[in-house]
Structure 1
């Protein structure tokens, strides 16, 4: 019981800040699908500060505008190269799951992937203790890492 109480107090006074990005190359279609999970309250704060607008991801008065802000922010803070070539992330939309927003992107067709070079500093400007989990899957091979602010780059080879 004392351990449980300690964990409770640590979560109140030392919240953790983490995002999850999953990158999957689908051999059948040739596309790369990217999903980014961020806590929506932190995400709203960073979007409001950056774009000087009130942002409500849960109940947007103008969903198109919110989607545009989300797409611009993530594309500015998540850069992915496959085999040395920058991927063009096309925003597909977002959804809310519990306390997080899942943001979805897809790329045009990419040939066989030998290497992903990923730069991810999502919410680094919001929290000095931000960590970003990265999972990349190519031909069923999963590679993962955690990028702790300020480290923002990783290269996965397949």
Structure 2
């Protein structure tokens, strides 16, 4: 996660395993996605975004913000098991505080751990989330 002062946006790049993400979406009531295959669901991007909006919640300056879709990609030559998902939050003039609630894939794996690296306001922070610790807050 990176705050881009030029574009006034919070940029999010997330690496996730295909099978885990697809299982999580099915568990949440969605369809089989068959990502990056000929059978890929026509609304796979929307289903991924919906799942991530429900499981990665941000508050910036004490206000809940909405994640928007940028895209997804995979590198079939290097890593056939995972994909990159890109999201953003637009129109953020200044970040005074950030609260992150992360429950991604906890519905699939009880021992799931999620690492988040944040660059914002000249500061770099890393957090490890798990089923017992789902949120973090930072103030500047």
> What's the TM-score once normalised by structure 2's chain length?
0.89
Q: Which has the larger radius of gyration?
A: 1
Equivalent residues, number:
136
- Residue 116 of structure 1 aligns to a residue in which SS? strand
Measured in 1, the distance between the counterparts of 2:104 and 2:122 equals: 26
What is the aligned counterpart of 1:85 among 50, 63, 75?
Answer: 63
The answer on whether the counterparts of 2:34 and 2:41 sit within 8 Å (CA) in structure 1 is no
Unaligned 5+ residue runs, structure 2?
none
Does 1:29 find its partner at 2:11?
no
Aligned-residue CA RMSD (Å): 1.5
Relative to the length of structure 1, the TM-score reads 0.79
On the 8 A contact 2:24/2:105 being kept in 1, the answer is: yes
More strand by share: 2
Runs of at least 4 residues off by over 6 Å: none
Q: By how many angstroms is 1:60 displaced?
A: 5.3
Residue range with higher mean Cα deviation, 36-45 or 51-60? 51-60
What is the rounded CA distance, in whole Å, between the counterparts of 1:143 and 1:135 in structure 2? 6
Q: Which residue of 2 aligns with 1:110?
A: 92
Q: Which position in structure 1 is the counterpart of 2:44?
A: 66
Cα separation, partners in 2 of 1:29 and 1:62, compared to 1, 3 Å: same
Whether contact under 8 Å (2:3, 2:120) holds in the other structure is yes
Higher helix share: 1
